[in-house]
Amino acid sequence: MHVENPPTTSLAIFCKVVDNYGDIGICWRLARQLEQEHQIAVTLWVDDLRSFQRICPDVNIHCDEQQLANVVIKHWRNQDAQFTPDEIADIVIEFFACDIPPAYITAMAMCVPRPVWLNLEGLTAEEWVEGCHTLPSPHPRLPLTKHFFFPGFTSKTGGLLLEAELEQKRQAFQSDPVEVENFLAQLGVTSSEMTAFKVSLFCYPQAAVTALFQAWEESDIPVTCLVPEGVASSAVRMFLGEEALAGISSTKGALTVRVLPFVPQPDYDKLLWACDLNFVRGEDSFVRAQWAGKPFIWHIYPQDENLHHVKLKAFLQRYSPDIASADAFSLAWNGALNHEDLVDWSSIWPSFLADIQKITNRSINWQARLHENGDLSSNLLRFARSLK
Ligand code: TRH
């Protein structure tokens, strides 16, 4: 008997790079997972191939259309491009309310059946998200409805991006000291730097890196700070006394700072897994640090009128309401303490370090809790199919 395979679902993701690497970092991760784990035919439209290439060196920045990891990547550079209904995907995701080309929307309205149209929103721990997750937003003129899809930290949200094999890969890596050593050595980290307390540093330029370096210089334990090239450049240059290029390192007191190359996305996970403490930022590295099961400090993306402080506090309220040293560190790092002038890293750092076991345990328990929400890609597909 001949059994017909069901037709492959097609899905388009539209990604506008607002800033840095998180927008494309998230969309690329989502695209790969939908293709690899759900056999979806994915087209990723992205307007900035240079940012993309930084996290995925295989990207050819001169190509209008290319295919990587079985995902079709299209350089989205013309908002006036024309589309016909046969070019429209079954599921259309606009990332972060980016405006998808008007002709694409018109063609969507002409499709029978109509495609599912989702707006994948930014991550926040605030409670209102639960009320807005999956809400419909009818188009003012066309017979189309867009739905909001919110990532989040509870079962009433879409959850977080998480590949099926991530946990298994992490455990295998962390339980193999030789692999960890080889990985760090290949990034230029020396044996003595590996035996110190290892910190990875990824933050925005306004972070208090110089003050923290001073506290680490006077730390009771040796600290190795690994910082990807291009991150906190002026503070790192000041510490090194020369340009902060990959491969350069310097030691003062208990602190060694080493500049690493900016690594491809999968290696960034390994870096997080290999360190004892990770400073992360934005959205995607913040989420990856949570899956690493290690202590982390989040530098939140700054917003007007300190709106980001509200988001930071909402997260800390869920994550570490009972660990004062962790809260104090995070608030100070983000300039969100009530009395800014009282920030004293020489006392914030030792208090944090004294609680490091407690904070590590919290990271592990937190990760287990997040697993209960499932993974964003599967949750998103389930929701999309429920609308069909
Ligand atoms: O780079 P980010 O600051 O990105 C974003 C964007 O600015 C965006 O506009 C904003 O909406 C969002 O923050 C909140 O931080 P993020 O989200 O952590 O993204 C960084 C990506 O870079 C992530 O996918 C991990 C990757 N990365 C590497 O691949 N290699 C590296 O060496 C490092 C340091 C990061």
User: Which amino acid type is present at position 233?
Assistant: S
pLDDT band at 340 (very low <50, low <70, confident <90, very high): low
CB 311, CB 300: distance < 8 Å: yes
Backbone angles phi, psi at 94, to 5 degrees: -100, 130
Residues 6+ apart with CB under 8 A from 303: 311
The whole-number pLDDT of residue 3 equals 61
Task: Please state, in angstroms and rounded to a whole number, the distance separating the CA atoms of residues 330 and 181.
Answer: 29
Sign, CA torsion 367/371/377/379: negative
CB 59 within 8 Å of CB 52: yes
Q: Establish whether the linkage from the previous residue to 113 is cis, with ω within 30° of 0.
A: yes
Q: What is the mean pLDDT of residues 47-60?
A: 98
Distance 281 CA to ligand 1 centre (A): 7
Residue with CA at minimum distance from ligand 1 atom 25: 285
| Predicted pLDDT of residue 338 | 80
Q: Give me the pLDDT at residue 342, please.
A: 74
Q: Which atom of ligand 1 has the smallest separation from the CA of 287?
A: 18
**Contact (CB, 8 A) for 136 and 145:** yes
Question: What is the per-residue pLDDT across 244-301, written as a single tens digit (0 to 9) for each?
Answer: 999 999 999 999 999 999 999 999 999 999 999 999 999 999 999 999 999 999 999 9
For ligand 1, the distance from its centroid to the CA atom of residue 268, given in whole angstroms, is 11
> Is 144 in contact with 109 (CB distance < 8 Å)?
yes
pLDDT (tens digit per residue) in 354-382: 999 999 999 999 999 999 999 999 999 99
Ligand 1 atom having least distance to the Cα of 231: 34
**Pairing of β 249-252 and β 255-260:** antiparallel
Determine the Cα angle at 191 with ends 186 and 193, to 5°.
95
Active-site residue among 35, 269, 283, 355?
283
Residue carrying structure tokens 């994550």: 319
Quick: pLDDT tens for 208-239. Answer: 999 999 999 999 999 999 999 999 999 999 99
Q: Is 121 an annotated catalytic residue? A: no
Q: Say what the pLDDT of residue 29 is.
A: 98
pLDDT confidence of residue 132 = 98
Band the pLDDT of 1: cuts 50, 70, 90: low
Separation of CA 127 and ligand 1 centre (Å): 24
CB burial of residue 338 (10 Å; 0-12, 13-18, 19+): exposed
Q: What is the mean pLDDT of residues 33-42?
A: 98
Distance of CA 233 to the CA centre of its chain: 21
* pLDDT at residue 388 in the model: 81
Contact 44, 31 (CB under 8 A): yes
Q: What pLDDT is attached to residue 311?
A: 97
Residue nearest to atom 9 of ligand 1 (CA): 19
Please report which helix (H) or strand (E) contains residue 224, including its range: strand 223-228
For the chain, the residue count is: 388
The pLDDT-based confidence of 341 (bands split at 50, 70, 90) is low
Q: Is 193 annotated in the active site?
A: no
Question: What was the pLDDT predicted at 134?
Answer: 98
Which atom number of ligand 1 is nearest to the Cα of residue 283? 17
Reduced to 3 states (helix: H, G, I; strand: E, B; else coil), residue 114 is coil
Site residues for ligand 1, CB cut-off 6 Å: 18-23, 25, 55, 122, 202, 228, 262-265, 268, 281-286, 301
Phi and psi at residue 34, to the nearest 5°:
-65, -35
For residue 219, give both structure tokens. 């730390």
Token output for 319: 């994550």
Q: How far is the CA of 200 from the centre of ligand 1 (A)?
A: 14
In this predicted structure, what is the pLDDT of residue 2? Answer: 63
pTM exceeds cut of 0.95? yes
Mean pLDDT of the chain: 96
Distance CA(210)–CA(207), nearest Å, equals 9
* pLDDT above 70 as % of the chain: 98
Please, which pLDDT band fits residue 7 given cuts at 50, 70 and 90?
confident
**Integer-rounded Cα radius of gyration of the chain:** 22
Pocket probe for ligand 1: among 183, 285, 296, the residue whose CB has the most ligand atoms within 8 Å is 285
Chain-centroid distance, C-alpha 145: 28
Residue to mutate, 269, 284, 307, 315, ligand 1, most ligand atoms under 8 Å from C-beta: 284
Three-class DSSP category at 92: strand
| Cα of 105 from ligand 1 centre, angstroms | 29
